[in-house]
């Protein structure tokens, strides 16, 4: 990460001279390497990442979105911060390098903000609203503030494109970029100011992310997403380069994200699924389940012998201090239950987040290449 930051700063210092293809090759190589690491991390966390044992709403596996959705959100806010600082520097110095950096960071930031909106809405459909209702948008303060942030920076490009004079366009759009940054603190403050927000507080999320089984992997995921985003910005702020074969390599990696996501979501297409509404335990094993299928049909399942819980520990303390079997709330395949097997399925929103992680990396590179030509 230190190398990425140093090269990024070097790009800022020398970009006014148009950049060099040699430096662009280094940035492109780093982009691919970081994306390969991110792919491995993302796939592992989507399939095997730890999740809260007893969340207040929805399937516990939906909380694997923590590893995918939160880094996207943080990356977008970090890039909008770069845009804000660069806009101030441009207005103070008039150096073109800062103007290019404003455009680059705002453009890539919009990519990550769009990913944040889509993945957050998908997760909200399960974990905020409740099972089977399917509303992905509730005008929650956090959702709404992120949407307004996205629109604010989209307007930046509309303003820039609507002014024919390049110098005047740069000045006015950078003044607007400084003002648009006011939406960033709104994103942070909205849930606490509007007390009706369902979005978890930072303290609630931090309590889970500090766990020894979570913290190192989450930190690594944040670093790879940040590095990918900042490398894309460094490339977009440079000039005189073409992605060449790297474009196809990154497209292949994006396809790998999508393929992994399809595999993760495949039970939704190949099996009958249901939510565990209640369970009975005996000698640490599960002896009966009450399952509500996705179509709303209730099924009672009795096992001849206690079945080991696929979720550990088998008993957890739910919100409110009540203990219950940890399998409750999970999505399971209905068919194998008749054979005495319990197969837990990861919520579909995690697969969507995994696919979008690869798509947004490819989109960031393509935008960077387009801006480098301008």
Q: For position 6, what pLDDT does the model report?
A: 40
Q: How far is CA 206 from CA 66, 103, 209, in A?
A: 11, 32, 5
On whether the CB atoms of residues 36 and 215 are closer than 8 A, the answer is: no
Strand order in the sheet with 298-308: 298-308, 285-293, 273-282, 331-333, 344-345
Q: For position 128, what pLDDT does the model report?
A: 64
On whether the CB atoms of residues 298 and 290 are closer than 8 A, the answer is: yes
Tell me the mean pLDDT in the region 11-21. Answer: 53
Residue 322 or 67, more confident:
67
Structure token pair of residue 258: 């999508």
Bridge partner list, 332: 274, 344
Confidence of residue 176 (pLDDT cuts 50, 70, 90): very high
Tell me the mean pLDDT in the region 232-258. Answer: 91
Query: pLDDT per residue over 268-315, tens digit each?
Result: 999 999 999 999 998 889 999 999 998 889 999 999 899 999 998 899
Q: For position 59, what pLDDT does the model report?
A: 87
On whether the CB atoms of residues 113 and 146 are closer than 8 A, the answer is: yes
Which residues have a Cβ under 8 Å from the Cβ of 179 and sit 6 or more positions away? none
Choose among 186, 56, 178: nearest CA to 128: 56
Tell me the mean pLDDT in the region 192-211. Answer: 68
Confidence of residue 239 (pLDDT cuts 50, 70, 90): confident
Domain ranges of the chain: 2-268+350-373, 272-333
Q: Cα(77)–Cα(180) distance, rounded to whole angstroms? A: 12
Structure token pair of residue 107: 């453009």
Tell me the mean pLDDT in the region 119-131. Answer: 75
End-to-end CA distance of the chain: 28
pTM above 0.85, yes or no: yes
On whether the CB atoms of residues 337 and 78 are closer than 8 A, the answer is: no
Q: For position 318, what pLDDT does the model report?
A: 73
Q: Cα(88)–Cα(94) distance, rounded to whole angstroms? A: 10
SS3 241: coil
Structure token pair of residue 284: 């640490």
Q: Cα(309)–Cα(341) distance, rounded to whole angstroms? A: 10
Tell me the helices (H) and strands (E) count for the chain, helix number first: 12, 7
Query: pLDDT per residue over 324-363, tens digit each?
Result: 899 999 999 999 998 999 999 999 999 999 999 999 999 9
Query: pLDDT per residue over 29-76, tens digit each?
Result: 999 999 999 999 999 999 999 998 878 778 899 999 999 999 999 999
Q: For position 12, what pLDDT does the model report?
A: 55
pLDDT at 10 > cutoff 60: no
pLDDT at 316 > cutoff 90: no
On whether the CB atoms of residues 199 and 142 are closer than 8 A, the answer is: yes
Q: Cα(206)–Cα(27) distance, rounded to whole angstroms? A: 32
19: left (phi over 0), alpha (psi -120 to 50) or beta: left
Q: Cα(267)–Cα(298) distance, rounded to whole angstroms? A: 19
């Amino acid at each position: 990460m230190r190398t990425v930051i140093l090269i990024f700063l070097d790009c800022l210092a020398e970009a006014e001279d148009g950049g060099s293809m040699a430096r662009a090759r280094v940035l492109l190589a780093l982009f691919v390497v970081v994306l390969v690491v991110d792919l491995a991390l993302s796939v592992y966390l989507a399939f095997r990442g730890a999740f809260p044992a007893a969340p207040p709403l929805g399937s516990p596996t939906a909380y694997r979105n923590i590893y995918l959705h939160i880094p996207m959100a943080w990356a977008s806010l970090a890039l909008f911060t770069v845009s804000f600082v660069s806009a101030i520097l441009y207005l103070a110095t008039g150096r073109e390098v800062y103007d290019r950096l404003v455009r680059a960071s705002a453009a890539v930031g919009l990519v990550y903000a769009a990913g944040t909106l889509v993945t957050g809405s998908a997760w909200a459909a399960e974990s905020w609203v409740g099972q089977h209702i399917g509303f992905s948008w509730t005008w929650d303060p956090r959702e709404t503030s992120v949407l307004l942030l996205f629109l604010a920076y989209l307007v930046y490009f509309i303003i820039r494109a609507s002014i024919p004079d390049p110098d005047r366009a740069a000045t006015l759009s950078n003044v607007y970029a400084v003002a648009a940054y006011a939406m960033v603190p709104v994103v942070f403050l909205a849930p606490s100011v509007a007390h009706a927000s369902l979005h978890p507080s930072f303290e609630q999320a931090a309590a889970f992310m500090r766990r020894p089984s979570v913290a190192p992997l989450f930190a690594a995921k944040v670093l790879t997403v940040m590095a990918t985003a900042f490398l894309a910005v460094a490339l977009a702020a440079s000039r005189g380069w073409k992605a060449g074969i790297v474009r196809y390599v990154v497209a292949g990696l994006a396809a790998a994200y999508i393929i992994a996501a399809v595999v993760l979501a495949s039970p939704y297409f190949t099996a009958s699924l249901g939510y565990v509404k209640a369970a009975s335990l005996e000698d640490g094993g599960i002896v009966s389940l009450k399952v509500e299928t996705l179509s709303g049909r209730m099924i009672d399942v009795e096992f001849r012998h206690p079945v080991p819980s696929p979720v550990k520990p088998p008993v957890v303390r739910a919100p409110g201090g009540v203990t219950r079997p940890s399998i409750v709330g999970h999505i399971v395949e209905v068919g194998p239950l008749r054979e005495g097997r319990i197969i837990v399925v990861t919520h579909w929103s995690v697969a969507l987040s995994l696919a979008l992680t690869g798509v947004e990396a490819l989109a960031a590179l393509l935008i960077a290449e387009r801006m480098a030509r301008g």
